[in-house]
Amino acid sequence: MSQTNISSIQTTGSLALLDAIVKEQVDTIFGYPGGAIMPIYDALFDHADKLKHILVRHEQGAVHAAQGYARASGKTGVVFATSGPGATNLVTGIADAMIDSTPIVCIVGQVFAHLLGTDAFQETDILNITAPITKWNFQITDAQEIPEIIAKAFFIARSGRPGPVLIDISKNAQMQTFDYKGYTPCHYIRSYRPKPIVRPEYIEQAAQVINQAQKPFIIFGQGVVLGNAEQELQQLIEKSGIPAAWTILGKSALPTHHPLNVGMLGMHGNFAPNVLTNQCDVLIAIGMRFDDRVTGRLDKYAKQAKIIHFDIDPSEIDKNVATHVSVWGDAKETLPLLTEKIDKKEHTHWLEKFIELNQKEYDTIVLPELFPTEGELTMGEVVRIMSEMTDGKAIFVSDVGQHQMVVCRYAQEKIPRSNITSGGLGTMGFGLPAAIGAKFGAPERTVIAVMGDGGAQMNIQELGTILQYQPNVKIVILNNSFLGMVRQWQELFNEKRYSFTDIMSPDFVHVAEGYGIAGLHVKERSELKKAIETMLKHPHSFLLEIKVKKEDNVFPMVPQGRGVADIVLTAKEI
């Protein structure tokens, strides 16, 4: 990578790092200082006019906040942490970012280079610890390496299939003065090809198969969102007339109410797309990886269909499901090429099958879940009312559990990047810090964090971050006094042997008040709409603790060990 600046100046490694970050158009950093990264923080003191630093309360919160920022904004999230426990506290969040393809750059301080390998105070081998869960990591021990390595870090993190990068910088490199020739962003690495060359012959083959199909079906995932290809997807769907369903990370790439949007795939997805996966004759997968929560038993998955797989990552092709046609490339590039070659059609009779089966689900599950008239509050009615009151334009950030599936099933969305959740890793504690990051990433949008009473307590300390920086985050805790998803499995598959899933919680509203955040308790249906309206109109962060039905289950459900077509609507069918 060549440097464009001819003149040079004497500067420190820390100042060179911050200059690189500014040149990468970073505006927000989430972090926590410590001894091994102190020189960088000292340099940061004089960069307050260029870089906003958000002091989180735990390093895991920093990574999740950076993820929320990246997912809401489409930019690269940045994290600062110190060595030893500071670095190891990042691990869960880095793993989450890796499996969900979220672009973040983690800058970690390290002990002096001459102390490496001596078990010095707060020394850990963070490179080997994070090697399996980063797209790339590197240790810098000489300040002269900083400009080039940081440029590579940002390029690798955001290009191709995005992901987390970790750069470990020894303390001496942070302090070292060197001859700095300026910063040049990286756009090419010889051994790294982030976007495969699109092969026209494969586009042609895919178009021929689709044009001959009688019952084609599109399933799309987060690759559409990461490629900013939402418009291209919609154009493809509308010209082809093909019904389309989404994975939880693909949600909001297509407006919820689009007439060809037939719902969510997966273990707790909609009835019709799961059942009809095994009846389509052509299955077009776009930017998704056929994970087990979507496929169920692989030996029973879409065996009758010709599979066409569009993905930017060649390693995903034929990994879980054998394909008939594989198209490598960025969805932003490949989808318009396909749209150009396919015939304009309407698959009216095929679409009617989706409508018919989804009506069965609506009558059995959706209607009583979203519009109950008696009994305890349901999670679904809470999500429905919030979605209606925000006109489908809010960003819903969900934690992990039953409430997560309810948000994914019932939140209505009109614009992209409206659904942020932990998909592949399923990290409880994700919701609150990710919502904080999302608000910094999209300050003009309403951000609603939806959590269960279990996940809410895993990173509850981040209420302190809200206290200090005042992001306007709406916090909803759906409290059923259980670790709900595990309890559901214990009810259905372990004869109601509720082994350590009954959880006691504090008064969340009083806890929030201790952090200067207003809140309300809601127990009765008559209170619900007014309380949500109060929360949404409040000029600052607000917390609602809503008591919901204690032993409620999320259906439909594909029981473990079954195929997607074996999805059940009620517990009696298991």
Q: Which two tokens stand for residue 448?
A: 């609603």
Reply yes or no on whether the pLDDT at 119 is more than 50.
yes
Angle among Cα 103, 57, 42 to the nearest 5 degrees reads 80
The two domains 9-180 and 377-551 share their CATH topology (first three levels equal) = yes
pLDDT at 231: 98
Among the options 75, 135, 152, 171, which is catalytic?
171
209: pLDDT confidence band, cut at 50, 70 and 90? very high
Q: For 226-273, write each residue's pLDDT tens digit.
A: 999 999 999 999 999 999 999 999 999 999 999 999 999 999 999 999
Contact (CB, 8 A) for 234 and 215: no
Q: For 138-192, write each residue's pLDDT tens digit.
A: 999 999 999 999 999 999 999 999 999 999 999 999 999 999 999 999 999 998 9
The neighbouring-strand residues paired with 327 are 310
* Cα–Cα distance measured from residue 100 to residue 133, given in angstroms and rounded to the nearest whole number: 11
* Cα–Cα distance measured from residue 421 to residue 400, given in angstroms and rounded to the nearest whole number: 8
Gyration radius of the chain's alpha carbons: 24
pLDDT at 2: 39
The neighbouring-strand residues paired with 287 are none
Question: How distant, in Å, are the alpha carbons of 1, 21, 48 from that of 15?
Answer: 20, 10, 13
Contact (CB, 8 A) for 544 and 389: no
The yes-or-no answer on residue 52 being catalytic is no
Reply yes or no on whether the pLDDT at 4 is more than 90.
no
Residue 263: CB atoms within 10 Å = 20
Among the options 59, 230, 462, 545, which is catalytic?
59
Among the options 52, 112, 122, 138, which is catalytic?
122
Q: Which of 1-5, 98-102, 360-364, 480-484 is predicted with the least confidence, judged by mean pLDDT?
A: 1-5
Reply yes or no on whether the pLDDT at 5 is more than 90.
no
Closest CA to 382 of 541, 487, 524: 524
Q: Where are the domains of the chain?
A: 9-180, 200-353, 377-551
The yes-or-no answer on residue 171 being catalytic is yes
pTM: 0.96
Residue 516: CB atoms within 10 Å = 14
Q: For 508-561, write each residue's pLDDT tens digit.
A: 999 999 999 999 999 999 999 999 999 999 999 999 999 999 999 999 999 989
DSSP assignment letter at 428:
T
**pLDDT (average), residues 200-229:** 98
Reply yes or no on whether the pLDDT at 210 is more than 80.
yes
The yes-or-no answer on residue 220 being catalytic is no
pLDDT at 134: 98
Contact (CB, 8 A) for 173 and 138: no
Among the options 451, 485, 535, 557, which is catalytic?
485
Contact (CB, 8 A) for 61 and 31: no
Indicate the average pLDDT of the chain: 97
* Cα–Cα distance measured from residue 380 to residue 377, given in angstroms and rounded to the nearest whole number: 9
**pLDDT (average), residues 186-206:** 95
Can you tell me which residue has the tokens 């600062």? 80
Q: Which two tokens stand for residue 317?
A: 């092709």
Type of residue found at 191: S
The terminus-to-terminus CA distance of the chain in angstroms comes to 59
Q: Which two tokens stand for residue 19?
A: 């200059």
8: pLDDT confidence band, cut at 50, 70 and 90? confident
Handedness of CA 302, 304, 305, 309 (dihedral sign): positive
- CA contacts within 13 A on the Cβ side of 340: 8
Q: Is 49 exposed, middle or buried (0-12, 13-18, 19+ CB in 10 A)?
A: exposed
% pLDDT > 70, the chain: 99
Q: For 393-403, write each residue's pLDDT tens digit.
A: 999 999 999 99
Handedness of CA 334, 104, 102, 75 (dihedral sign): negative
Q: For 418-429, write each residue's pLDDT tens digit.
A: 999 999 999 999
Q: Which fold has domain 9-180?
A: Rossmann fold (3.40.50)
The yes-or-no answer on residue 122 being catalytic is yes
* Cα–Cα distance measured from residue 78 to residue 157, given in angstroms and rounded to the nearest whole number: 10
* Cα–Cα distance measured from residue 572 to residue 568, given in angstroms and rounded to the nearest whole number: 9
Handedness of CA 408, 277, 313, 134 (dihedral sign): positive
Contact (CB, 8 A) for 167 and 105: yes
At 235 the three-state DSSP class reads: helix
Q: For 494-508, write each residue's pLDDT tens digit.
A: 999 999 999 999 999
Reply yes or no on whether the pLDDT at 386 is more than 90.
yes
At 436 the three-state DSSP class reads: helix
pLDDT at 574: 86
Can you tell me which residue has the tokens 């919680």? 505
Residue 197: CB atoms within 10 Å = 7
At 162 the three-state DSSP class reads: coil
Among the options 121, 346, 388, 530, which is catalytic?
121
Q: For 52-88, write each residue's pLDDT tens digit.
A: 999 999 999 999 999 999 999 999 999 999 999 999 9
The yes-or-no answer on residue 222 being catalytic is no
Contact (CB, 8 A) for 169 and 145: no
pLDDT at 3: 45
Q: Left, alpha or beta for 67 (phi > 0: left; psi -120 to 50: alpha)?
A: alpha
Query: Which homologous superfamily does the CATH classification assign to the domain defined by 200-353?
Result: TPP-binding domain (3.40.50.1220)
Q: Which fold has domain 377-551?
A: Rossmann fold (3.40.50)
* Cα–Cα distance measured from residue 569 to residue 574, given in angstroms and rounded to the nearest whole number: 9
Query: DSSP readout, 337-396?
Result: HHHHHSPP---HHHHHHHHHHHHHHIIIIIHHHHS--SSS--HHHHHHHHHHHTTT-SEE
**pLDDT (average), residues 466-489:** 97
Name every residue whose Cβ is closer than 8 Å to that of residue 422 and which is 6 or more positions away in sequence.
96, 100, 399, 400, 430, 434
Answer whether the bond into residue 471 is a cis peptide, omega within 30°.
no
% pLDDT > 90, the chain: 98
DSSP assignment letter at 557:
B
